[in-house]
């Protein structure tokens, strides 16, 4: 066995099917797309011929001719942190049946890469674009605005959308969590989070959090940042570091659930009284947490719903820009004292 079947003749086109079934290319095209009237016997013959030949239509040519591309570009920072796969699920779910298909691009939180991913996607002339976040380079914003297709910026609504936006207010989410923590009586609060300079949403949450603290006359007693590596492990390490450096800390606010889970496991292993001696909270509401020995306090980010609504906006393409704010619910879990 050498090449994967070096193709008897050339690569198949409509013409091959049309010759094999004795009708015009146009009729074949109609049959294959279920468009226009074609008599039942003709349809049968064509389908049979196509099947027999193993014909796969060339969407490139089809798209060019029809000026229609059934693709939706989805630009997200990462696939590996559990949050975006869920958004994707919501998107696929909603797009299924509309004839549209998602195509993902990953930016790794790099603005340059984001720009080129967007450029690349637009050059395929998709029917719409879904993009995480509201912060993009000027060039990227311009390209998107000029593309003449629906654009949905997701996850975040604290900012100025290009077109549509669906998400939560991370600033408010941070504030809300802080208020909850303060109400529970914690006072020596530390933050543990990602270093990523381009995770704007984590940054906004922290801003909201600190704002609420300062309104209560408090400030963070410690902070610890990380980047890269296994989040669970980092959570352990950072927690150890903070507890060591600031022994009187009584609350650890994590920028995401994964490091929060690491922290929780560490505390439990150390026999630290949670939530009595220290309270813990994360962010996201990842499914993973269900399996932990104790439930981490968190806030769901409405990821599934965001995906669904964003896809809906692309599919429906309403004429006017829309901003849909969703409201995360706090899940107190077992790591904030009642």
Partner DNA sequence: CTGGTGGCTGTTAGCGGTAACACTAACAGG
Partner DNA sequence: CCTGTTAGTGTTACCGCTAACAGCCACCAG
Which residues form the interface with a second copy (CB under 8 A)? 1-7, 11, 54, 56-61, 63-64, 69, 79-80, 82, 85-86, 88-89, 92, 101, 103-104, 106, 119-120, 122-125, 142-151, 162-163, 230-236, 261-262, 265, 269, 287-288, 290-293, 319-321
Beta carbon of residue 125, minimum distance to a second copy (angstroms, whole number)? 6
Phi, psi of 109 (to 5 degrees): 60, 20
Is the Cβ of residue 7 or residue 37 nearer to a second copy in the bound state? 7
CB within 8 A of 66, min separation 6: which ones? Answer: none
**CA separation for the pair 218, 129 (Å, rounded):** 42
Beta carbon of residue 34, minimum distance to DNA (angstroms, whole number)? 11
Is the Cβ of residue 178 or residue 274 nearer to a second copy in the bound state? 274
Is the Cβ of residue 58 or residue 230 nearer to DNA in the bound state? 58
* Residue 29 site contact among DNA, a second copy, none (CB < 5 to 8 Å, cut-off depends on kind): DNA
* Residue 218 site contact among DNA, a second copy, none (CB < 5 to 8 Å, cut-off depends on kind): none
Phi, psi of 280 (to 5 degrees): -135, 145
Report CA-CA distances (Å) from 237 to 198, 224, 229, 288, 334.
23, 10, 11, 20, 22
Q: Cis ω on the peptide bond leading into residue 78 (within 30° of 0)?
A: no
Q: To 10 degrees, the CA torsion angle through 11, 17, 19, 25?
A: -100
Question: CA torsion sign, 149 to 154 to 159 to 164?
Answer: positive
* Residue 221 site contact among a second copy, DNA, none (CB < 5 to 8 Å, cut-off depends on kind): none
Q: Under the rule (CB under 7 A), what is the footprint of DNA?
A: 11-15, 23-27, 29-30, 32-33, 35-43, 57-58, 60-62, 64-68
Is the Cβ of residue 18 or residue 169 nearer to DNA in the bound state? 18
**CA separation for the pair 105, 139 (Å, rounded):** 17
Is the Cβ of residue 45 or residue 234 nearer to DNA in the bound state? 45
Beta carbon of residue 288, minimum distance to a second copy (angstroms, whole number)? 6
Beta carbon of residue 51, minimum distance to DNA (angstroms, whole number)? 15
Beta carbon of residue 90, minimum distance to a second copy (angstroms, whole number)? 12
Question: CA torsion sign, 184 to 335 to 276 to 175?
Answer: negative
Tell which residue, 109, 141, 142, 103, has the closest CA to residue 125.
103
* Residue 231 site contact among a second copy, DNA, none (CB < 5 to 8 Å, cut-off depends on kind): a second copy
* Residue 262 site contact among a second copy, DNA, none (CB < 5 to 8 Å, cut-off depends on kind): a second copy
- For residue 95 the two structure tokens come to 């797009």
Is the Cβ of residue 294 or residue 337 nearer to a second copy in the bound state? 294
Half-sphere CA count of 307, side-chain side, radius 13 A: 22
Is the Cβ of residue 3 or residue 37 nearer to a second copy in the bound state? 3
The answer to whether residues 263 and 192 touch, using CB atoms and an 8 Å cutoff, is: yes
Q: Are strands 189-194 and 151-156 parallel, antiparallel or unpaired?
A: unpaired
Beta carbon of residue 27, minimum distance to a second copy (angstroms, whole number)? 19
* Residue 82 site contact among a second copy, DNA, none (CB < 5 to 8 Å, cut-off depends on kind): a second copy
Residue 290 DSSP class: G
Beta carbon of residue 44, minimum distance to a second copy (angstroms, whole number)? 18
């Amino acid at each position: 066995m050498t090449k994967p079947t070096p193709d008897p003749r050339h690569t198949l086109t409509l013409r091959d099917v049309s010759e094999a079934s004795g009708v015009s290319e146009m009729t074949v095209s109609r049959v294959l797309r279920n468009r226009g009237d074609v008599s039942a016997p003709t349809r049968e013959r064509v389908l049979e011929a196509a099947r027999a030949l193993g014909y796969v239509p060339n969407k490139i040519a089809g798209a060019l001719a029809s000026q229609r591309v059934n693709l939706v570009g989805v630009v997200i920072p990462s696939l590996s942190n559990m949050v975006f796969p869920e958004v994707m699920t919501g998107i696929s779910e909603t797009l299924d049946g509309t004839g549209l298909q998602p195509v993902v691009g990953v930016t790794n939180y790099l603005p340059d890469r984001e720009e080129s991913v967007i450029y690349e996607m637009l050059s395929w002339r998709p029917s719409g674009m879904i993009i995480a976040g509201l912060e993009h380079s000027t060039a990227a914003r311009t390209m998107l605005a000029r593309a003449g297709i629906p654009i949905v910026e997701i996850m975040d609504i604290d900012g100025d959308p290009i077109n549509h936006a669906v998400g939560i207010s991370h600033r408010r989410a941070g504030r809300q969590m802080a208020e909850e923590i303060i109400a529970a009586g914690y006072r020596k609060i530390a933050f543990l989070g990602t270093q990523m300079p381009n995770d704007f949403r984590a940054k906004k949450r922290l801003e909201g959090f600190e704002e609420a603290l300062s309104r209560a006359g408090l400030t963070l007693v410690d902070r610890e940042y990380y980047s890269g590596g296994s989040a669970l492990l980092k959570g352990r390490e950072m927690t150890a570091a903070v507890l060591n450096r600031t022994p009187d800390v009584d609350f650890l606010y994590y920028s995401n659930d994964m490091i929060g889970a690491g922290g929780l496991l560490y505390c439990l292993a150390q026999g630290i009284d949670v939530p009595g001696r220290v309270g813990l909270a994360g962010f996201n509401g990842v499914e993973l947490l269900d399996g932990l020995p104790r439930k981490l306090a968190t806030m769901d980010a409405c990821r599934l719903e965001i995906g669904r609504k964003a896809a809906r906006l692309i599919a429906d393409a309403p004429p006017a820009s829309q901003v849909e704010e969703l409201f995360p619910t706090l899940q107190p879990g077992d790591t904030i004292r009642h």
